[in-house]
C-alpha cells in the first residue's frame, strides 16, 4: 500500500498498485468507471439492489460513477443513486468519498465532475468506459474538461480484473459447481416429452435455489442446432446440450454439458471423446508464465485435423465478472478479439473458458465448455464433473 493510502487507513479490496501501474503504462491520470460490474469490483462488492438488472428509471437511467486517480486511492470516490443509501448504511464502502444522492445519469456525472475539481485530481488524460457511458453524461463530462485527452478504460480495467484474488476465485468456483449441479438435477429430472422451454425454466429455478442469479441458457435437442428455448419436445434417442451461465455474487460460472435420452451409439461416443481430447490438450499447457497463444497452439491443430473440422469450432476466452472478458488470447477464430494476451505470459489467478463445439450436420450440437484457473504449478478445472453422456430422466 502506498504511504497516502496507508496513512488514511484504507482497506482497499483490489490490487491498487497493479491498477496504478496499468494506468501509468497507458498514460492515464484518472479513471471514471460507469459500468455496474466495474463499480462492483472497485467498491469491493457493492451493487445497487434496486438496479440489479434494470437501468431505466423515470426520465433517465441509473448510472454509477467510480472515480480513481492514479496513485491516489485516498481520493477515490463513488457516486451512486439515492436508493443506495440504505445499502451503504448497512455495509459502508471502503471508498473515502461516497455520494449516494443522484437520480439521473447527468446528475451522477455532474457530481463526479464536481468532486474531481474539488479533490484537485489531474485531468490531462481521462479514461472512461465508452461502451457504458450514455451520451448525455458524456456531454457533461466533456464540457467540464474540454482540453482533456480521452481513452477507453475498457482494456485497463479488464487487465486489472484479469488476475483474480483468492476471494474472486472462491466465488467463481461456487458459481461453476452450482451451475453443474443445477444442470445435473435438470437432466436427471426430465425425460421424454419434456420441452426445451420447461428445462430452461427448471434450470433457472435450480440455479436460484443454489444462491445464483440466472444469466442465460443456450439449449439444443435432437438434431437441431437451434439453441433457443422452445416447445420442442424430447424424444427417445435425442441428444441434449445445455450451456448456461449462472452468476454468484457478481461472478459467472459458464460451462456446457451433454445428455442423451437413451444410450449413445459408437458415433456419438467418438464425437464427444474427440471433443474431450481437444479440451484436455488445450488445457495442458495452461500455467503461470506460459504465453497465452500456447492454448490455441495446443487445441487448434487437433480441431484442424479432425474429420469434422469443417463443422467444429475451438475457442478460449477469459471469464470472471463478464462473459468473454480478458485475458484475450487471439485476434482470429470464431469470435475474434484484439489478442492482447497472445504474446503475454499467463498469470496465476487468471481464468480461462475453454470450449470445443461440433455442429454435426446429422447428429446435432455437441459441445463441452470448461472453466480453467491458471495456477503457479499448472491449472485447476472448476466444475469438473458430468463430462460424458449424462442420462436424461434417471430421477423419474
Domain assignment present for residue 324? The answer is yes
The pLDDT tens digits of the residues spanning 222-233 come to 999 999 999 999
Across residues 362-369, what is the average pLDDT? Answer: 98
| Residue ranges making up the domain that contains 381 | 166-391
Do 158 and 201 fall into the same domain? no
Do 152 and 264 fall into the same domain? no
Identify the pLDDT of residue 3: 42
**Residue matched to cell numbers 472497485:** 42
Instruction: Identify the domain boundary among 133, 162, 191.
Output: 162
For 183, half-sphere exposure in the C-beta direction (CA atoms, 13 angstrom radius) is 32
Do 183 and 101 fall into the same domain? no
Please enumerate in sequence order all residues whose Cβ is within 8 A of that of 249, keeping only pairs 6 or more positions apart, or say none.
Answer: 45, 171
HEC letters along 260-273: ECCCCCHHHHHHHH
Domain assignment present for residue 396? The answer is no
Do 158 and 53 fall into the same domain? yes
Q: What is the CATH number of the domain that holds 152?
A: 3.40.350.10
pLDDT at 7 over 60: no
Identify the pLDDT of residue 340: 86
What is the pTM (predicted TM-score) of this model?
A: 0.94
- Which pLDDT band holds residue 8 (cuts at 50, 70, 90)? low
Query: Most distant CA pair in the chain: distance in Å?
Result: 71
Do 125 and 186 fall into the same domain? no
pLDDT at 336 over 80: no
Do 197 and 256 fall into the same domain? yes
Cα–Cα distance between 1 and 5 in angstroms, integer? 6
Cα–Cα distance between 327 and 163 in angstroms, integer? 9
Average pLDDT, the chain: 96
Nearest by Cα to 37 from 211, 317, 247? 247
The pLDDT tens digits of the residues spanning 92-143 come to 999 999 999 999 999 999 999 999 999 999 999 999 999 999 999 999 999 9
Do 382 and 341 fall into the same domain? yes
Amino acid at each position: 500500500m502506498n504511504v497516502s493510502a496507508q496513512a488514511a487507513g484504507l482497506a482497499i479490496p483490489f490490487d491498487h498498485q497493479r491498477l496504478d501501474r496499468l494506468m501509468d503504462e497507458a498514460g492515464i491520470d484518472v479513471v471514471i468507471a460507469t459500468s455496474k460490474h466495474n463499480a462492483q469490483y472497485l467498491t469491493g462488492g457493492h451493487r445497487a439492489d434496486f438496479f440489479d438488472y434494470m437501468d431505466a428509471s423515470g426520465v433517465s437511467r441509473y448510472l454509477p460513477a467510480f472515480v480513481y486517480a492514479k496513485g491516489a486511492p485516498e481520493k477515490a470516490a463513488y457516486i451512486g443513486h439515492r436508493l443506495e443509501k440504505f445499502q451503504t448504511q448497512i455495509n459502508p464502502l471502503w471508498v473515502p468519498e461516497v455520494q449516494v444522492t443522484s437520480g439521473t445519469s447527468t446528475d451522477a456525472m455532474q457530481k463526479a465532475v464536481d468532486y474531481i475539481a474539488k479533490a484537485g485530481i489531474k485531468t490531462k488524460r481521462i479514461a472512461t468506459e465508452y461502451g457504458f457511458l450514455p451520451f448525455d453524461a458524456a456531454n457533461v463530462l466533456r464540457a467540464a474538461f474540454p482540453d482533456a485527452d480521452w481513452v477507453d478504460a475498457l482494456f485497463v480495467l479488464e487487465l486489472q480484473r484479469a488476475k483474480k484474488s483468492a476471494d474472486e476465485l472462491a466465488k467463481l468456483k461456487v458459481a461453476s459447481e452450482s451451475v453443474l449441479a443445477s444442470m445435473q438435477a435438470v437432466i436427471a429430472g426430465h425425460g421424454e416429452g419434456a420441452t426445451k422451454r420447461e428445462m430452461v425454466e427448471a434450470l433457472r429455478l435450480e440455479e436460484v435455489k443454489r444462491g445464483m442469479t440466472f444469466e442465460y441458457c443456450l439449449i439444443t435437442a435432437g438434431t437441431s442446432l437451434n439453441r433457443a428455448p422452445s416447445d420442442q419436445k424430447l424424444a427417445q434417442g435425442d441428444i441434449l446440450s445445455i450451456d448456461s451461465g449462472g452468476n454468484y455474487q457478481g461472478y459467472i460460472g459458464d460451462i456446457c454439458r451433454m445428455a442423451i435420452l437413451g444410450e449413445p451409439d459408437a458415433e456419438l461416443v467418438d464425437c464427444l471423446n474427440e471433443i474431450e481430447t481437444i479440451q484436455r490438450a488445450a488445457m495442458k499447457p495452461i500455467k503461470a508464465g506460459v504465453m497465452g497463444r500456447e492454448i490455441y497452439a495446443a487445441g487448434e491443430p487437433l480441431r484442424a485435423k479432425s474429420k469434422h473440422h469443417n463443422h467444429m469450432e475451438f475457442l478460449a476466452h477469459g471469464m470472471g465478472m463478464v462473459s468473454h472478458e480478458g485475458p484475450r488470447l487471439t485476434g482470429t477464430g470464431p469470435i475474434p478479439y484484439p489478442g492482447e494476451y497472445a504474446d503475454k505470459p499467463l498469470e496465476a489467478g487468471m481464468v480461462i473458458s475453454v470450449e470445443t463445439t461440433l455442429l454435426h450436420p446429422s447428429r446435432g450440437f455437441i459441445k463441452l465448455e470448461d472453466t480453467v484457473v491458471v495456477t503457479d504449478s499448472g491449472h485447476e478445472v472448476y466444475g469438473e464433473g458430468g463430462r460424458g453422456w449424462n442420462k436424461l430422466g434417471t430421477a423419474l
